[in-house]
Structure 1
Amino acid sequence: MKMKLQGIAASQGIAIAKAVVWSKAVESSDEKQIRPEEVEQEVKRLEQSIEKSTKQLTEIHQQMLSNVGEEEANIMMAHLAFLQDPEFVGEMKRQIKDELLDATSAVQRVVKHFVQMFEAMENEYMRERATDIQDVGKRIINHLTGQTDDMHLQIKEPVIIVADDLTPSETVQLPRQFVLGIVTAKGGKTSHAAILSRSLEIPAVMGAGEEVLEKIQDQDQLIINGSTGEIWIQPDQATLKQYRKRLEQEELLKKELAKLRDLKAETTDGHRVKLKANLGRPTDIDSLLENSPDGIGLFRSEFLFMDRADLPSEEEQFAAYAEVIQKMNGKPVIIRTLDIGGDKHLPYLNLPEEMNPFLGWRAIRISLDQVDLFKTQLRAILRASVHGKALIMFPMISHVEQVQRAKEILEEVKQELQAKGVAFDPSVEVGIMIEIPSSCLIADELAKEVDFFSIGTNDLVQYTLAVDRMNEQIQHLYNYFHPAVLRLIKMVIDASHRHQIWTGMCGEMAGDPLATKLLLGLGLDEFSASANLLQVKKQIRSTSLADAKKVADHALTFATAEEVQQYLSQQSHNI
């Protein structure tokens, strides 16, 4: 009997296949007590299991480096960190020595405690880390008991995996040729399984609740839509036919989009805009070049500072920036200076615990306070600028004085380099992120200080609508089509053009094909996105600037985000 369930859209795409339900949850066995004379032996068993787990995770990390890239592979580094954490491992040993538990019982008790602690945290990202701890604990126990996880080896035909949850190591070991989709009861967009699913391009619906395990049986026919979170169980022939046709259309669209790769992002009436890519790590540059972008519209330099025990040196930063600039072969690379705080933490910087970290000491505020840190980064960028075209961008600007002070420090660094005879491009352009409502309202004043603006819609929406974008409970309120956000975007673009500078956008909105015509009509000069570059290019090349302006003008008359989206959907279908 046909049934439809709803989960969280975690990895886009449609999958049609039979279900394989993984009932992996193993009930904790009763705790086993040991005699005092057995303590030393149990501690040794624990240490051996941790050693084996470390070796296994190191091998998986290497496998992931080859298959999904460095950023995703570093998920395993977090698992390895737990195995090296003196509090985590030390508590297991204490349970053996003081509570006289055998090694398996000690691991189960400590893992349960840490899982409960993380699941109780308010931050969604931190809650998702409970799955990582379970993964580490299960791996240790498997080595202690001689068990193996070989469910992925049993998959020999196209399937959709249905599970309570998937750990990162389970996700990355899935046979991609057979696993067409993933459905989980737990998890969400920020879970490591979701991140890996997107990297592996496996459609996924997560956080669908216990209902999926109750309603879905092995070998049930399923359809999942990773873009909408929809799950169809035992669909009728009409629904199957509809989604098979959509799959065929997706494949045709991919082929059509590939033809646009080397064409310009130009409207039908000859208006040219720049279409650039967002970059996290230098190791991702080769994959980005496959879509032939006009440059890098956002190089997130903070990734050079993350997943490590200390600050990167000037030479490390210089090498990373120079590598990217050289590979772009003269195309512009906009390097955003360090943007940490909020949801991005660097333990070695001892950032203070704050009640409202997104409103606290972060981004440019840290750089202006930690001048030596800031100067080191600016020196590295300036030195790398001789290898191509580099631009510098300051994040989270809310005051004109912040821009003026940042520019003063930049000039000091230039003078210091000149005094030492170090080569750099003296005409490096300087821009700012527009991601706070106050910067939108004083855009005319800010435009006098810089060469360009780049609108960061992720934070702009969050601050304008007072919506925590990591909070699933109010996520439905987070919408960049909200009329207030659109009016702020127009305000910024208009101000920049009055002062003869250009405006780009590097937030998620820039990569949404539904928003492309609207943004064109508002006058956006540059789109920079992490995904959907070719889909955005298709929209640009399918419309005229004159028509886009009419669409934008009309969109600004609506009172709700829903009305805007409905109108843009209609316009998109007309292309």
Structure 2
Amino acid sequence: MKKETRLKGTIASSGIAIGKVFILEREGDLLIPVHKIPKENVKKEIARYKQSLEKTKQELSSTKERILKSLGKSHVDLVDAYIKLLDDRLFTHDIVRMIEEDQCSAEFSVSSSLNKVIQMFARSGDDYFRGRMVDMKDVGQKLLRNLLEKKRKSLEKVTSQHIVVAATLDPHDVIILKEQNCAGFVLEVGTKTSHVALAAQGLGIVSIVGLKDITNQEIEDEDDIIIDGFQGFVILHPTQETLQEYKKQYESLIREKDELIYLKKSKSETRDHHKIDLLCNIDLPKEVDKVIESSAEGIGLFRTEYQYTDRNSLPTEDELYKDYNFVAQKVYPHPVVIRTFDIGADKLSQLGLEGVVKEKVPSLGLRGVRLALKYPEIFKTQIKAILRASQKGNVKIMFPMVTKAEEIDEIKKIIQEVKHELKEQKVGFDENIPVGVMIETPSAALTCD
């Protein structure tokens, strides 16, 4: 009998899942040995590489419609980003060079170049580049499978009893797992903000990522496995005692969910009939459907940091407006409180902004409103997008990390400037849009009167 093993990872989507192992692909399945080709086959080998490259791009493009329907446009943009990665000179230059000069096979050349790029991203220690490392690994393996004419096991074979164990997945894979009622999945790579994690959160699939070497553990298909998506553990070969313990937890969660479904039909008021507004907080626009489903009376906090992470350029005003307007329209006539970005200066440098001073501890340095006021043009772009989304009168603005009254005066001045610009452009907005601050610093708490 195999010994119970607990492995710690990063929670991608919370919950409890109990099931049987479904190994999609082991980490070593695509290891490519050095293979030399005759000089006269070089042109043919380059042609084979380019043919597989085009096939991979076409396969990615074919998933767009399904992804748009299930996950929204941001994930469709990811597909385009994947295609761009395949054409990135950082990746492609070495492949062609190795085939031409070293007479290596296309498979080995792709594998070698892929590993170099992944190692470079891994060494950066930066969240953005770690996210790109996951994307690069996923898209590179798709290309390798096409070159090798080697298919993974079909996800269509997954059932509601299965927990998928794999090196990587992409958002399209997650959609298929949802359609198959998969219990959950665990991955070798990934972060809480990686695209596959966001897809899992959006579709409600219990998952843990960043479990290095999980596919090389002593596990086989149909072995027992548990995901504790609250503690961040994956339990392999659980004992009967552990299985019973988690079955009780799972049943308790189901009962709690059923009770909440019943409660959401009730009025939110005290026993002496005083009305209390219950609002939800969201991190992403797609979460608004859950807000509506829960019968909440609006959004108490719409965090906007997602628009400034996991990318290498600043969002445009239209990009920001599209998301804010989508949420405001969805919850209307209920209110939505949009909080301006609360990020550190380190994130701005990742977005391509030059001259940003690197801080030793970004979370304690220039962030929130202090950062916004230091870079007023970036701040004004976000304010303008929020104001444009406020036309129906159900939008409010909240400012984070305010420490003194002078900052509020500067904020008000910028809002007036933006309002003036919008009037000149004949763009509608709520002239009396409510504004407020998040009381989260000692100085704000002491001076808020």
Specify the TM-score bucket, using the shorter chain as the normaliser. 0.7 to 0.9
Counterpart position of 1:427: 432
Counterpart position of 1:148: 151
**TM-score using structure 1 length:** 0.66
Q: Is the 8 A contact 2:21 2:224 kept in 1?
A: yes
Q: Matches of 2:53 and 2:203 in 1, distance apart? A: 29
Q: Matches of 1:283 and 1:178 in 2, distance apart? A: 20
1:475-509 CA-to-partner distances (Å, cap 9, x unmatched) read xxxxxxxxxxxxxxxxxxxxxxxx3xxxxxxxxxx
Among 394, 400, 405, the alignment partner of 1:395 is: 400
Decide which moves more: 290-299 or 17-26.
17-26
Q: How much does 1:293 deviate? A: 2.1
- Matched to 2:400, the amino acid is P
Counterpart position of 1:406: 411
Q: Which has the higher contact order (CA 8 A, sep 6+)?
A: 2
Q: Provide the secondary structure at the position in 2 that maps to 1:174.
A: helix
Map residues 188-227 of structure 1 onto 2, 5 A cutoff. Answer: 189-208=192-211, 210=213, 213-227=216-230
Q: Provide the secondary structure at the position in 2 that maps to 1:387.
A: coil
Counterpart position of 1:368: 373
Distance 1:15 1:111, change over 3 A: same
Does the alignment pair 1:8 with 2:17? no
Does the alignment pair 1:285 with 2:288? yes
Distance 1:152 1:353, change over 3 A: farther
Among 2, 16, 19, the alignment partner of 1:17 is: 19
Q: Matches of 1:190 and 1:375 in 2, distance apart? A: 26
Among 380, 390, 395, the alignment partner of 1:385 is: 390
Counterpart position of 2:356: 352
- % same residue: 34
Q: How much does 1:148 deviate? A: 1.9
1:177-212 CA-to-partner distances (Å, cap 9, x unmatched) read 353132445555445444333333222344455477
Map residues 76-87 of structure 1 onto 2, 5 A cutoff. Answer: 76-87=79-90
Counterpart position of 2:99: 96
Q: How much does 1:156 deviate? A: 5.3
Q: Matches of 1:318 and 1:130 in 2, distance apart? A: 29
Q: Is the 8 A contact 2:392 2:430 kept in 1?
A: no
Q: Provide the secondary structure at the position in 1 that maps to 2:264.
A: coil
Map residues 24-43 of structure 1 onto 2, 5 A cutoff. Answer: 24=26, 25-26=28-29, 28-43=31-46
- Matched to 2:8, the amino acid is G
Q: Matches of 2:246 and 2:149 in 1, distance apart? A: 44
Q: Provide the secondary structure at the position in 2 that maps to 1:354.
A: coil
Decide which moves more: 190-199 or 220-229.
190-199
1:370-404 CA-to-partner distances (Å, cap 9, x unmatched) read 43443344334334323122212223434443222
Q: Matches of 2:131 and 2:325 in 1, distance apart? A: 35
Q: How much does 1:257 deviate? A: 0.5
Q: Is the 8 A contact 1:325 1:388 kept in 2?
A: no
Counterpart position of 1:257: 260
Map residues 318-357 of structure 1 onto 2, 5 A cutoff. Answer: 318=321, 320-341=323-344, 344=347, 347=351, 349-350=353-354, 352=356, 354-356=358-360, 357=362
Q: Is the 8 A contact 2:345 2:371 kept in 1?
A: no
Q: Provide the secondary structure at the position in 2 that maps to 1:52.
A: helix
Distance 1:109 1:70, change over 3 A: same
Decide which moves more: 342-351 or 242-251.
342-351
Distance 1:50 1:344, change over 3 A: farther
Q: Matches of 2:343 and 2:291 in 1, distance apart? A: 24
**TM-score using structure 2 length:** 0.82
Map residues 44-55 of structure 1 onto 2, 5 A cutoff. Answer: 44-55=47-58
Distance 1:434 1:113, change over 3 A: farther
Q: How much does 1:115 deviate? A: 1.7
1:32-80 CA-to-partner distances (Å, cap 9, x unmatched) read 3345554443333322222221221222343222223444555444423
- Matched to 1:32, the amino acid is H
Q: Matches of 1:411 and 1:139 in 2, distance apart? A: 51
- Matched to 1:413, the amino acid is V
Q: Which runs of 4+ in 1 moved over 6 A?
A: 305-310
Q: Provide the secondary structure at the position in 1 that maps to 2:332.
A: coil
Q: Provide the secondary structure at the position in 2 that maps to 1:182.
A: strand
Distance 1:408 1:233, change over 3 A: closer
Q: How much does 1:145 deviate? A: 2.4
Counterpart position of 1:118: 121
Q: Which runs of 5+ in 1 are unaligned?
A: 448-498, 500-575
Distance 1:415 1:59, change over 3 A: same
Q: Which runs of 5+ in 2 are unaligned?
A: none
Q: Provide the secondary structure at the position in 2 that maps to 1:385.
A: coil
Q: Provide the secondary structure at the position in 2 that maps to 1:297.
A: strand
- Matched to 2:149, the amino acid is G
Q: Matches of 2:385 and 2:214 in 1, distance apart? A: 53
Q: How much does 1:283 deviate? A: 5.0
Q: Matches of 2:210 and 2:358 in 1, distance apart? A: 29
Q: How much does 1:215 deviate? A: 3.6
Counterpart position of 1:56: 59
Q: Matches of 1:62 and 1:156 in 2, distance apart? A: 24
- Matched to 2:4, the amino acid is M
Q: Is the 8 A contact 1:20 1:219 kept in 2?
A: yes
Q: Is the 8 A contact 2:403 2:443 kept in 1?
A: no
